[in-house]
């Protein structure tokens, strides 16, 4: 059915099931191949598109080499912290809509806080603004 405004519930469910691809968190046999690492390289390229093989980190707001990854290089970071209800395996843990590249300092510093988004509140004074996470991007409170 080409007219999406008349799709039935079953047609929409069928479309979602036929086009949704579950991705492994890490491919144990070949990390960076058909897993979240590979997806992030494609989904979060560096901001300078003329430079290939870069990923853009979320909290640090920086472009870094896509390879190597893990270890002391960039890591996978869940935007919605796993302590807030995401499972430790399965499709919710490897959901690429909820994972972004981050440098170890921003990732590790964020892990010890409530989370990047902190507690929701209205910012009354510009001076009340704090940087997003230890090791995160600077100049965000302007």
> How would you write the pLDDT of the chain (142 residues) with one tens digit per residue?
567 778 899 999 999 889 888 889 998 888 888 899 999 999 999 988 788 799 999 888 889 999 999 888 999 988 887 777 787 887 888 888 899 999 987 666 554 444 444 444 555 665 665 555 445 555 555 5
**3-state SS class at 83:** helix
Percent of the chain's residues with pLDDT above 90: 27
Residues with Cβ < 8 Å from 40, sequence gap 6 or more?
A: 55, 76, 96, 99, 100, 101
Q: What CA–CA distance (Å, rounded) separates 133 from 142?
A: 16
Round the CA-based radius of gyration of the chain to a whole number and report it: 18
Residues with Cβ < 8 Å from 93, sequence gap 6 or more?
A: 25, 82, 86, 87
Task: Give the chain's end-to-end CA distance (angstroms, integer).
Answer: 48
- Residues 7-33 pLDDT 10s: 899 999 999 889 888 889 998 888 888
**3-state SS class at 21:** coil
């Amino acid at each position: 059915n080409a007219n999406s405004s008349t799709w039935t519930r079953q047609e929409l469910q069928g479309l979602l099931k036929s086009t949704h691809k579950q991705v492994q968190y890490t491919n144990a046999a070949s990390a960076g191949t058909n897993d979240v690492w590979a997806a992030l390289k494609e989904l979060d390229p560096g901001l300078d598109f003329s430079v290939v093989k870069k990923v853009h980190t979320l909290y640090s707001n920086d472009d870094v080499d896509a390879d190597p990854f893990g270890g002391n290089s960039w890591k996978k970071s869940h935007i919605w912290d796993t302590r807030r209800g995401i499972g430790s395996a399965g499709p919710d843990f490897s959901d690429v809509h909820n994972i972004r590249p981050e440098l170890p300092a921003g990732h590790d510093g964020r892990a010890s806080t409530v989370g990047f988004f902190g507690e929701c509140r209205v910012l009354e004074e510009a001076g009340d603004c704090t940087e997003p996470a230890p090791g995160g991007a600077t100049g965000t409170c302007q």
